[in-house]
A and B are shown apart, each in its own frame.
Chain A
Amino acid sequence: MRLILLSCLAALGLTAVAPLAAEEPVRFSRDIKPILAGKCFACHGPDEAERQGDLRLDTQAGALESGVIEPGKADESELIARVLSRDPDMQMPPADSKKPGLTPAEVDLLKRWINAGAKYDAHWSYAPPSRPEVPPVDEARKEWPANEIDRFILAAQQARNLSPAPDADKRTLIRRLSLDLTGLPPTPEEVEAFVQDTSADAYEKLVDRLLRSPHHGERMAMFWLDLVRFADTGGYHSDNHRDISPYRDWVIEAFNRNMPFDQFTVEQLAGDLLPMPTNDQKIASGYNRLLMTTEEGGAQAKEYIAKYQADRVRNVSSVWLGATLGCAECHNHKFDPYTTKDFYSMAAFFADIQEKAVGRQDQVNVPSSRQQAELAQINARLAELRGKLEAPSAEIDAAQAKWEETAIAELAAARGEWRPQKPLEVASAGGQTLAVQDDLSVLASGANPAKDTYTVTLPAELERITALRLEALTHPSLANKGLSRANGNFVLTELTVALVSADGGEEKPLMIKSVEADFSQPNYPVAQAIDGNKQSGWAVAGHEKPADHQLVALLAEPVAGAAGAKLVVRLAHDSQFPQHNIGRFRLSLSSAEKPGLTSPSGIPVDVGLALETAAEKRSPEQQATIRRYYRSIAPQLADVRKEIADAEAQAKSLEEASRTLISMSGSPRMVRILPRGNWLDETGEVVEPAIPAFLGKLNVEGRRATRLDLAEWLVAKDNPLVARVFVNRLWKLMYGRGLARNMEDYGTQGSYPTHLELLDWLALEFQASGWDVRHMLKLMVMSHTYRQSSAASRETLAADPTNDWFTRQDRFRLDGEFVRDNALAISGLLSRRLGGPSVKPYQPAGHWQFLNFPRREYVHDQGENLYRRGLYTYWQRTFLNPSLVAFDVPSREECTNERPRSNTPLQALVLLNDPTYVEAARAFAARIIREGGSEPAARIAFAFRTATSRAPTEREVELLTALLEKHRAEYAADPAQAAEVLKNGDGAPPEGIDSVELAAWTSVARVILNLHEVVTRS
């Protein structure tokens, strides 16, 4: 009960500093400052605006000048009298502050401190660490310490009459290490190999193997992505997609290459500002673009610029400095020496980043070095394949000659109906450049007016003209590779035709009898193109499905053409939708009585024109055109073309995957202090980039400081915070809690480290090692402190209930992504592919129904992408996959320093019913049946070893056997139900296994995947 109570108190933030041993000297920053900060600083602290009675207690000078403290004489100090007083006019804190009075223990500490001279010391995290002496080892325990970590931990334990727990057994150790270092469980084979390996360095070999695993980078990236708020969408309002996965892959790669943390820092904050930055460094600078952005119509640019700059200050200060600088947006920090000027000066570092305050951010193609290498390979292969396609071949030439004959005949038949016309003149009222192409189509470029009317003059030389055909044609240069430069769609509001006779003179309008089209968008029927109404028109949904479409207009009366006569065709685009002008089109005429809609020949127009030219009259270009076309259809070359298409598709998806957001530097915006954070107030002082004043000054010799200067200051040797903050984060990953418990705040309201000397030693070791992350992790996991059992004796529980002194390892539920990865790994379904665009696993239907602008439907991926690790899940900030959310996975709208570890009924529902887990259970069942031997007991043992790394107890086997038999009997009686079990999830059910047997074992597998032990690291 006690433990439960204490852990709940910890969760509620109610635990005080670890109790002080009676003989230990009182330290201001550890023991006194938290009391004063909690009860006094709000009115007697750093914020001048709020200060009462001209008294400040946060500095020694302030406290002593005021005379409320008499050093050495607690009983004569007014401070003590005030906190003890019950007189409403005297008592501190005053009643109206609603702060509870000091506890007797707190008063006692204050007295001891004053009696010892009331000495202030610097806040621990603001003074640079000094390398502490490593404590000597006690003779009785000299076998225990594996390295310096253990010596610090042991010394602190012994000072409190505590002792460490023994090492955990080897099965627990390999499971713990695998989960901590890769986020994946060990396979039973790995467990057995480790258990059997009795060599002295068996453990170290295991550690090295896991640190070198590519999954180590994934595990570490997951931790980092929470901090920097990595997500696939913008976060505000419409929460639209942005390409950013290359940044995530860069982080994975950086950890897998063990990139030094100083470089890791510099490249993210300022990779783009490095001399001749590589693409990888530019991708890293995507860090500055991870914040939430808006596209909401009506959002005010200035307001969002203010939001963005504050967001960046909060993030950079939280991630690297462990500081709550965000509190200083509206007023000086209430507890720490950060000022509003510090806040806005920090913001000014980022004022050079080019971005849209409101609207879709510009993404660019920046292939990473890995992608570049892959792309080069593909391109080399493509060149080779294209060579094959072009290579001389008598055989193919002969086939071509044969084909030409049939093609010409085909064309002649088709031509009877339509003759494409090369325009004599093309004009755009809106100033677009309209250029006639080789295939006689007209392509628009240049100016992009909201509305436009094209005037196209065609030769009217056919003897008899009965109809006009307009083809709207897609082109890569158009939006969405579609039909216009708006969104790929157009609205043709009016089509008119007029005749100008050979002798010139007035245009004579021609009546159009009827129009038809191969396709019309709902509410935009083709008849609206000739209805005389400027608002209505013909459209073809080119924004949704870009494809060629055509319209045929039948003239009321056939027209007799003549040499020199002209047809003037006008295409008007006057709809309410801007820029919905046809981007590419071709006009043809016909003499047929009732010409059809589609050309019966699939031969492109330019090829057709070349073919129709007599062979001996063909120009070399025309010959080449025909040859090229034939080789694109020749059956002999089908295999080569297939390979080319595959390679091109690969190159294309690589190219798409290389689109990302990076930092692009430009002339910096002016940054002002916003009084009370009010972005409408432009009276504040203009500030330049600067680090928080109390931490020093950048040496930039009169030039404006940059993000690069900021990054270099962060990882400079004398920065007191960065190394401490980061090693404390690593410590938490490996031990379940930090040496400084509070991961969000290293300032005065944070928690004083339980082992400050160890933290400082680690911070300096980190710097001295060249910011070697893997070195630090290895130091930690090699320690016996890490290897301790997580079980604790009742005595230990009583003496160290919240494990402040690391008298045992911690037990905790796996992070949400790892809960998923774990189930998939156990089942054998897990895809171990690294990186790439984010993936869409199963998600309940309708989860995205409240997204709008545009509406979106979640369509889960197919095949391998359903079984990727959780960290690759598509991170829709406003509606993250609920299967992850149930396990406290954050939406990453803000920096997440620490995830809660809740234990809820929704988690039970996910593990019981989410198709991800049901399908995993079924796949696991198939594995159990195939790999677990033939007897139920052996199979259950196999299942347990796979899922928990240990053998089951007899009672466990009995219980599961009973369940198996009951369900087997039930499914045997109702085989249709058993067949239904196979329909959970998309994966094909395994072949060769009886469905009744599989369904019954699926029940067993579901039980195992739901066990507390399976989702727990201990």
Chain B
Amino acid sequence: MNSSLYYVPGHPLTRRAFLGRSATGIGAAALASALSGFATPARAASETNTWRGVVQPLHFAPKAKRVIFMTMAGGMSHLETFDYKPKLAEMHGQPMPESLTKGQPIAQLQGAKLTCFAPQHPFKRYGESGQQMTELLPKLGEVADELCIINSLKTEAINHDPAHTFMNTGTTISGRPAMGSWLLYGLGCEADNLPGFVVLTSNGKYGQGQPIASRQWHSGFLPGEFQGVHFRSQGEPVYYVTRPRGVSASQQEDVIRAVEGLNRQRNEAVDDPEIATRIAQYEMAFKMQTSVPELVDFRQEPAHVLEMYGTKGGDGTFAANCLLARRLAERGVRFIQLYHRDWDHHGGVKDQIKGTCGEVDQAAAALIKDLKQRDMLKDTLLVFATEFGRTPMAQGNGRDHHIKGFSCWLAGGGIKGGITYGATDDLGYNAVTDVVHVHDLHATMLYLLGVDHERLTYRFQGRDFRLTDVSGEVVKPILA
């Protein structure tokens, strides 16, 4: 497994380029100048190498170049956000029809009496399109005409951990690549100083903070180059990017240049392409030590932008992550995934969801507006989704996990805005019209990026695996 994300067949960088450099770079005669050369900030462009992906050429003309995937972790209630169910309100307190619930999977309500529980907040119509959404999301309402709301999503796992794994990898079995890893593997990376798949996380104050495993952004059986890199909002933004204590920036560069120099010398003796790759990776590591602090430095953002998102940055909020996502998108990162862990509302859903909606509304809307004003919305696909929805049945004054019908929205590159697609039944239990399975969502996402989901495969355990497992249909009616 000698592949490398940043060193690719066909790239102009060849082994000879390294040999040539080593001959003139750190030679015995010019040692002093070589060492002062350590401090030269920029190396030749030929030493920057980015993975270009295995899908070449693309299967379709792409509509989007990158994805910002907002995961409302914990299980966002569709009934209090995007799926308007007046009938459920009428039936409040009455028994849930057994015809719907019998023999169906159920989580914490196992063995409990199942009664209808009215939507806890009013809905209203927004925008020219008149999209129906909760009153709790007024800022998103301002961009309602950009949104394609899907009210007929279905998934297969009813507990948080497997449900996230399903949403991210297309299966509940561990060890498969996350969707970001698939995209990076298939499409490559445009950034030469940042990873191609970045994960951002934030906590809220209202729901239970359900754990999230790092497997959710792991590359599974794909090579390690393709795993998501977790950017943290507090402390070191990327693990190990901070140089050791007592080592100045120039000394750190000396060390890196010396490693590169000695590796080049060694390569003259043993002629090993892995060494060339190693040198390129030290170069990238070196760049990240500058690019990452620059990336998270929000001081360059004008006040009105900070105000629009509702953050000062660096505060670990969802809003700060939305702004960071825009900055990552600008820098060519392929797949940016945000987790907001505040949606598990088993009890007190009325107050809790109000709080949680308040944590995301302004920033998610700001992200759309900001991308639009930078003319990046047209080729950025935004997905606002969750691992599952919540029961129309009461769990005390909250709702339990629900997988048979729930909501998400998409916006941006290649998406028809201002429409609502698919529907659940009158009580919001089963997705019944234009059902969209998680596999379909994946297939559609890949399609918009120019990839046929059936043809992006990787051979493992004797089988060609894909993100969509053995199913998935592109949801054509939502495409612009």
Chain A residues at the B interface, C-beta cutoff of 8 Å: 1, 3-5, 7-8, 10-13, 98, 235-239, 292, 294, 296-300, 303, 307, 324, 326-327, 334-335, 680, 742, 744-745, 747-750, 791, 811, 813, 844-847, 850-853, 877-880, 882-883, 885-886, 888, 891, 893-894, 896, 898-910, 912-915, 918, 953-956, 958-960, 962-963, 966-967, 970, 977-984, 999, 1003, 1006-1007, 1010-1013, 1016, 1018
- A298 & B28 in contact (Cβ 8 Å cutoff): no
Given contacts A745-B462, A893-B174, A959-B34, A298 and B266 within 8 Å (CB-CB): no
Alpha-carbon separation in the docked complex, A962 to B27 (Å): 12
Interface residues of B in 229-260 (CB under 8 A from A): 229, 232, 234-236, 238-248, 251-252, 254-256, 258-259
- A1012 & B274 in contact (Cβ 8 Å cutoff): yes
Given contacts A8-B3, A10-B2, A981-B244, A1012 and B278 within 8 Å (CB-CB): yes
- B288 & A909 in contact (Cβ 8 Å cutoff): yes
- B454 & A811 in contact (Cβ 8 Å cutoff): no
- A905 & B400 in contact (Cβ 8 Å cutoff): no
Query: Closest B-chain residue to A880, C-beta based?
Result: B214
Given contacts A680-B105, A745-B461, A844-B236, A894 and B173 within 8 Å (CB-CB): yes
Given contacts A852-B209, A912-B243, A902 and B235 within 8 Å (CB-CB): no
Q: A11-B2, A913-B243 are in contact. List 13 more A-B contacts (CB 8 A).
A: A1-B15, A98-B455, A237-B211, A298-B107, A882-B240, A902-B4, A905-B282, A914-B240, A966-B254, A984-B244, A984-B245, A1006-B255, A1013-B266
Query: Which residue, of A914, A962, A970, has the highest number of chain B Cβ atoms within 10 A?
Result: A962
**Chain B positions within 8 Å of A904 at CB level:** 4-6, 224-225, 281
- B211 & A894 in contact (Cβ 8 Å cutoff): no
Stretch at the interface among B62-70, B113-121, B156-164, B294-302: B156-164
**Chain A positions within 8 Å of B242 at CB level:** 913
- A300 & B106 in contact (Cβ 8 Å cutoff): yes
- B160 & A237 in contact (Cβ 8 Å cutoff): yes
- B270 & A1007 in contact (Cβ 8 Å cutoff): no
Given contacts A912-B285, A959-B258, A300 and B9 within 8 Å (CB-CB): no
Number of inter-chain CB pairs below 8 Å: 297
Alpha-carbon separation in the docked complex, A1010 to B285 (Å): 13
**Chain B positions within 8 Å of A963 at CB level:** 35, 254-255, 258
- B108 & A298 in contact (Cβ 8 Å cutoff): yes
A–B pairs, 18, beta carbons within 8 Å: A7-B3, A13-B460, A98-B454, A98-B455, A237-B160, A239-B213, A745-B461, A850-B209, A878-B212, A886-B240, A909-B285, A909-B288, A910-B239, A913-B244, A955-B265, A999-B246, A1003-B251, A1007-B259
Q: Does B93 contact A (CB under 8 A)?
A: no
- B2 & A903 in contact (Cβ 8 Å cutoff): yes
Given contacts A846-B234, A959-B34, A300 and B105 within 8 Å (CB-CB): yes
**Chain B positions within 8 Å of A846 at CB level:** 232, 234-235
- A1003 & B235 in contact (Cβ 8 Å cutoff): no
Q: Quick one: CB contact mask for B1-20 with A, threshold 8 Å, 1 for yes?
A: 11111111110001100000
Alpha-carbon separation in the docked complex, A225 to B415 (Å): 47
**Chain A positions within 8 Å of B248 at CB level:** 970, 977
Query: Closest A-chain residue to B8, C-beta based?
Result: A8
- B463 & A749 in contact (Cβ 8 Å cutoff): yes
Given contacts A846-B232, A910-B240, A981-B247, A300 and B214 within 8 Å (CB-CB): no
Alpha-carbon separation in the docked complex, A239 to B460 (Å): 27
Shortest distance between the CB of B434 and any CB in chain A (Å)? 23
- A959 & B261 in contact (Cβ 8 Å cutoff): yes
Main SS class of interface, A: loop
Shortest distance between the CB of B302 and any CB in chain A (Å)? 30
Query: Closest A-chain residue to B176, C-beta based?
Result: A894
Q: Which of A335, A900, A954 contacts B1, CB < 8 Å?
A: A900
**Chain B positions within 8 Å of A292 at CB level:** 174
Query: Which residue, of A297, A847, A852, A905, has the highest number of chain B Cβ atoms within 10 A?
Result: A905
Shortest distance between the CB of B86 and any CB in chain A (Å)? 29
Alpha-carbon separation in the docked complex, A918 to B239 (Å): 15
- A742 & B223 in contact (Cβ 8 Å cutoff): no
Shortest distance between the CB of B165 and any CB in chain A (Å)? 10
Query: Closest A-chain residue to B222, C-beta based?
Result: A900
Shortest distance between the CB of A803 and any CB in chain B (Å)? 12
Q: Which of B3, B161, B245 contacts A236, CB < 8 Å?
A: B161
Alpha-carbon separation in the docked complex, A1016 to B289 (Å): 25
Alpha-carbon separation in the docked complex, A984 to B209 (Å): 33
- A891 & B6 in contact (Cβ 8 Å cutoff): no
Q: Does B306 contact A (CB under 8 A)?
A: no
Interface residues of B in 174-231 (CB under 8 A from A): 174-175, 195, 201, 208-215, 218, 221-225, 227, 229
**Chain A positions within 8 Å of B213 at CB level:** 239, 850, 877-879
Q: Which of B110, B243, B270 contacts A791, CB < 8 Å?
A: B270
**Chain B positions within 8 Å of A742 at CB level:** 462
Q: Does B361 contact A (CB under 8 A)?
A: no
**Chain A positions within 8 Å of B145 at CB level:** none
Chain B residues at the A interface, C-beta cutoff of 8 Å: 1-10, 14-15, 26-28, 31-32, 34-35, 54, 103-108, 110, 158-162, 172-175, 195, 201, 208-215, 218, 221-225, 227, 229, 232, 234-236, 238-248, 251-252, 254-256, 258-259, 261-263, 265-266, 270-275, 277-278, 281-282, 284-285, 288-289, 341, 400-401, 452, 454-455, 458-463
- A902 & B223 in contact (Cβ 8 Å cutoff): yes
Query: Which residue, of B8, B211, B289, has the highest number of chain A Cβ atoms within 10 A?
Result: B211
Alpha-carbon separation in the docked complex, A925 to B32 (Å): 23
Shortest distance between the CB of A681 and any CB in chain B (Å)? 9
- B35 & A894 in contact (Cβ 8 Å cutoff): no
Shortest distance between the CB of B231 and any CB in chain A (Å)? 12
Q: Which of B104, B110, B255, B462 contacts A744, CB < 8 Å?
A: B462
- A903 & B278 in contact (Cβ 8 Å cutoff): yes
Query: Closest A-chain residue to B107, C-beta based?
Result: A298
- B223 & A300 in contact (Cβ 8 Å cutoff): no
- A237 & B243 in contact (Cβ 8 Å cutoff): no
Query: Which residue, of B255, B262, B273, has the highest number of chain A Cβ atoms within 10 A?
Result: B262
Alpha-carbon separation in the docked complex, A901 to B277 (Å): 12
Q: Which of A238, A844, A912 contacts B256, CB < 8 Å?
A: A912
Alpha-carbon separation in the docked complex, A82 to B455 (Å): 23
**Chain A positions within 8 Å of B174 at CB level:** 235, 292, 891, 893-894
Alpha-carbon separation in the docked complex, A958 to B223 (Å): 37
- A878 & B107 in contact (Cβ 8 Å cutoff): no
- A970 & B265 in contact (Cβ 8 Å cutoff): no
Given contacts A236-B161, A910-B240, A980-B246, A1003 and B110 within 8 Å (CB-CB): no
Shortest distance between the CB of A138 and any CB in chain B (Å)? 30
- B281 & A680 in contact (Cβ 8 Å cutoff): no
- A983 & B258 in contact (Cβ 8 Å cutoff): no
**Chain B positions within 8 Å of A958 at CB level:** 28, 31
**Chain A positions within 8 Å of B227 at CB level:** 885
**Chain A positions within 8 Å of B243 at CB level:** 912-913
- A912 & B461 in contact (Cβ 8 Å cutoff): no
- A953 & B54 in contact (Cβ 8 Å cutoff): no
Alpha-carbon separation in the docked complex, A457 to B265 (Å): 89
Given contacts A98-B452, A813-B274, A913-B244, A1011 and B284 within 8 Å (CB-CB): no
Shortest distance between the CB of A991 and any CB in chain B (Å)? 18
Given contacts A750-B462, A907-B281, A966 and B240 within 8 Å (CB-CB): no
Alpha-carbon separation in the docked complex, A906 to B226 (Å): 12
**Chain A positions within 8 Å of B245 at CB level:** 980-981, 983-984
Q: Which of A294, A327, A852, A984 contacts B210, CB < 8 Å?
A: A852
- B1 & A902 in contact (Cβ 8 Å cutoff): yes
**Chain A positions within 8 Å of B224 at CB level:** 886, 888, 900, 902, 904
- A13 & B458 in contact (Cβ 8 Å cutoff): yes
Shortest distance between the CB of A586 and any CB in chain B (Å)? 39
- B244 & A918 in contact (Cβ 8 Å cutoff): yes
Shortest distance between the CB of B396 and any CB in chain A (Å)? 13
Shortest distance between the CB of A319 and any CB in chain B (Å)? 13
Alpha-carbon separation in the docked complex, A981 to B3 (Å): 36
Alpha-carbon separation in the docked complex, A234 to B215 (Å): 14
Given contacts A298-B401, A745-B461, A850-B212, A893 and B246 within 8 Å (CB-CB): no
